[in-house]
Structure 1
């Protein structure tokens, strides 16, 4: 009989929707977390019928069942970080906000509000419900379109992204990462993606929030499905391992370039990013 030789990784939890096509949602989250040596648990908020060509149907789960899943995980695991993704309805957003209110560890909020097509995914009530969840976040990670929804102002340039990040920090988030993939290419150069991190932690010179910009090569592909999920999950995993927000974002943003470059060419539509390359040395 062989000797039992287990590993004891940190545990991170994703609270998000399921992607039947496998490229985003809980499926991408768990892959990204495990690529970083973190055990991933999950709370499913909705099931979807989707593939590489698009979303055909969404079925939000009852908020009380979402709460039951969360309670089951929290009762058994020492959760070191939580990441939220698609929350689907105002009731689920409010339920999740209540569930994490006493959570004493990093919370990464990926406010999945706008599809790649530009279509709004949530009702106005659900969008409004995000305000309290954003205020509870260690880090909120909107793309430019989602930052515009959260702040009410257009986000088209890196300067706009910084302004949005500052506003999200003013709303209560410890930090905001406004992703630059959807920014106007003419504003940043067609070959570069600029992600902007604003941290409430003060800048010693200005006395205001600290602002960092990360420039990475833009990959010539439409196959970016799951990039936001994988990025926020990679950051959550690194926070679960005890890294700083600045350090976790720096590494995860750099890794995403390779995850997109080495993406999955599957299905008849644009493929998906490859979270398995995250965490590679």
Structure 2
């Protein structure tokens, strides 16, 4: 049994964060463990409160996992503060375990989930450790300090992030203006690039898409899939989850974590070579 962990915040509404990650792990046959960095009071309408966990207790959670479980992959999500980022980085920097970094910054309702002072800490301490970084367009803009409005801008942003030490960058293009397709762009530090194109779904139920995609990627990497194949399968997982949404709640509802298993024979993702 492959064992993975997610280091992230708790979503009381169940659509994102720790809850979404563990659901995804379960669906993909890996055993999920967790380190909770913050509690949030939220539902599909938004976040009404954030309570960060004491840094020393976050450290205890990580140590408890490392002393007992042979982890096959680690994923980070909402890390909230510079101090949390630094303590996480210090504990995992010498581990030869794939690290998937989802740079969670803003909730669907617009609430900040990463303090401004933590952005530089993310660049300095965590990104150099990342096997894969999975920002959306706004997150990539914050991390690079550059506006992204075109494919050329995406390429330049990826190059900037790879220079920080990231081995692979997946820049999710859902925020780009394209009425027909949502395209994600993948860049490796060896120069290899490709993109993944999927039909854009007209739905408001996209809460937790970033968490779910990166959790699926974590699970596939833990299972031993080659990195490129793991990225493509994770894209299929989230595309299915968006396509067959659950229509839960009165705001931005969650995706459907069951959909990939129930529709595995259907591929709605096209891989395009650079």
TM-score between both structures, scaled by the size of structure 1: 0.90
Matching residue of 1:3: none
Matching residue of 2:186: 197
Contact 1:46–1:58 under 8 Å retained in 2: yes
Matching residue of 2:224: 242
Detail structure 1 runs of 4+ shifted over 2 Å in the superposition.
114-124, 156-159, 276-281
Equivalence map 1:197-216=2 (5 Å): 197-201=186-190, 209-216=191-198
RMSD across aligned positions (CA) = 1.3
Equivalent of 2:100 in 91, 102, 108: 108
Matching residue of 2:128: 135
| 3-state SS of paired residue (1:124) | coil
Contact 2:77–2:101 under 8 Å retained in 1: yes
User: Residues of 1 paired with 2:260 and 2:80: CA distance?
Assistant: 27
Matching residue of 2:64: 72
| 3-state SS of paired residue (1:278) | helix
| 3-state SS of paired residue (2:67) | helix
Tell me by how many angstroms 1:100 deviates.
1.1
| 3-state SS of paired residue (2:26) | helix
Matching residue of 2:269: none
Q: Highest Rg: 1 or 2? A: 1
Contact 1:179–1:194 under 8 Å retained in 2: yes
User: Residues of 1 paired with 2:109 and 2:249: CA distance?
Assistant: 18
String of CA shifts for 1:222-272, please: whole Å, max 9, x gaps. 110010000000000011011122111111112211100111211221211
User: Residues of 2 paired with 1:275 and 1:192: CA distance?
Assistant: 21
Structure 1: runs of 5+ lacking an equivalent: 1-8, 202-208
Matching residue of 1:267: 249
